[in-house]
Structure 1
Amino acid sequence: MQIQQYSLVLQQQRKADSVKKQCKMCGKVTLFTDTTIRRHNANGKNIYQFAIYKCPENHSWNKKLDIYKTFSDHVDPASLVPTEFKAIEPGEKITINPIETIEIKILGVAGNFRLDCTLADHIEGWSRTEITNKIKAGNIRLNNCLTKPSKKLSVHDKILIDVN
């Protein structure tokens, strides 16, 4: 059995959107526009990501985007990703051979990415339904554990795909 190792950086495209909501400073319903600036707050165990929106009067509103676990600094990040991992470029798809096991290491995540959708975007010839069935059957594991297809990916996650 041969193991193919890949690394992946997930980057969500940012686009400015607008939301109508009550501005507490203006005292009326107004249009808030996304500045595409992101803010992070931490409480020790979790890191919260916020999008900063502004109204026409330059008042701000922070929309919570994501919550993820902190990563301990006592682990050397270079030791987590061996150099033999081949990087998957944006838009590139992996072709899977039936005699291989695939290991994908997530190096970076900017946005929300589901396990099943990410694999469907990066594996040639596999539909999202096929991938969902393989996850439920235990042929695709996240961090060596059974998981749900809708599981959100985080930095340093490891996806293991048993093709056999």
Structure 2
Amino acid sequence: MQTEQYSLVLRKKQKADTVRKQCKMCGKVTIFTDTTIRRHNANGKNIYQFAIYKCPKNHSWNKKLDIYKSFSEHVDPANLVETEFNLIQDGEKISLFKSTETFYEINISSAEGSFRLDRTLADYIEDWSRTEIVQKIKNGEILLNNRFTKPSQKLSIHDKILIVVK
């Protein structure tokens, strides 16, 4: 039995868009342009992500993009064990067909945006359809942070996906 470890960086493809809305500082309807800068605020157990928009006179407006749950199981850096992870490049797919029973561990090293577990695995695993991935998640062959989960579970930084291939 062997274990292969991968690291995955998730970034939502962003493009600058525009919105017509009332600028409170200018006092008129104007075009706000997305600066593609993102801001995060924490409030209790929630983390809010905002996109920063600017009007032509450089006044800002913050558009709420997403709300994440914070967690209390913080990692002690002194207890981290150094490991080598193979970085999965954007557009690259990994093949999970081996002759022996193999464990695949995929660590999310960065997550900018909202990503579902089943969709993300379908994007990065070769030869498995999303339907097969959903079935494997429901059967417990794919675990998130060593726990059973649902296919629509959102991924966040430091999540660990464990896949057992028999």
Regarding TM over 0.5, the answer is yes
Question: What is the CA RMSD across the aligned residues, in angstroms?
Answer: 2.4
Amino acid at match of 2:143: R
Which one is further off, 70-79 or 31-40?
A: 70-79
Residue 5 of structure 1 corresponds to 5
1:162/1:64 CA distance change after superposition, 3 Å = same
Query: Which residue is 2:129 aligned to?
Result: 127
Partners of 1:23 and 1:38 in 2: CA distance: 20
| Post-superposition offset of 1:25 | 3.0
Q: Deviations over 1:43-84 (max 9, x none)?
A: 35433221101123332110112333267776218816x423
Q: SS where residue 137 of structure 2 aligns?
A: helix
Are the structure 2 counterparts of residues 153 and 38 from structure 1 closer, same or farther at C-alpha, using a change threshold of 3 Å?
same
Distance between the aligned counterparts of 2:6 and 2:12, measured in 1? 19
> Aligned residues: percent identity?
66
Normalising by the residue count of structure 2, what TM-score does the alignment of the two structures yield? 0.83
TM, length-normalised to structure 1: 0.84
1:58–1:106 Cα change, 3 Å: same
Residue 36 of structure 1 and its aligned partner are, at CA, apart by: 1.0
Aligned mates of 2:95, 2:42 — CA distance in 1: 39
Q: Which among 139, 160, 163 is matched to residue 161 of structure 1?
A: 163
Deviations 1:123-152 (A, max 9, x none): 111122221222122221111122222211
Moved over 4 A (4+): 70-74
Paired residues for 1:2-151 under 5 Å: 2-43=2-43, 45-68=45-68, 69=70, 75-76=76-77, 79=80, 82-98=82-98, 99-151=101-153
Distance of 2:105 and 2:74 partners within structure 1: 24
Unaligned runs of 5+ in 1: none
User: How big is the shift at 1:100?
Assistant: 1.6
Partner of 1:132, secondary structure, is helix
Unaligned runs of 5+ in 2: none
CA distance in 1, matches of 2:119, 2:15: 20
**Rounded Cα–Cα distance in structure 2 between residues aligned with 1:59 and 1:70:** 34
Distance 1:127 1:57, change over 3 A: same
Given the superposition, is the C-alpha separation of residues 75 and 117 from structure 1 closer, same or farther in structure 2, using an over 3 Å criterion?
same
CA separation of 1:96 and 1:31: change in aligned 2, threshold 3 A:
same
Alpha-carbon separation, structure 1, partners of 2:46 and 2:154 = 15
Tell me the SS of whatever aligns to 1:112.
Answer: coil
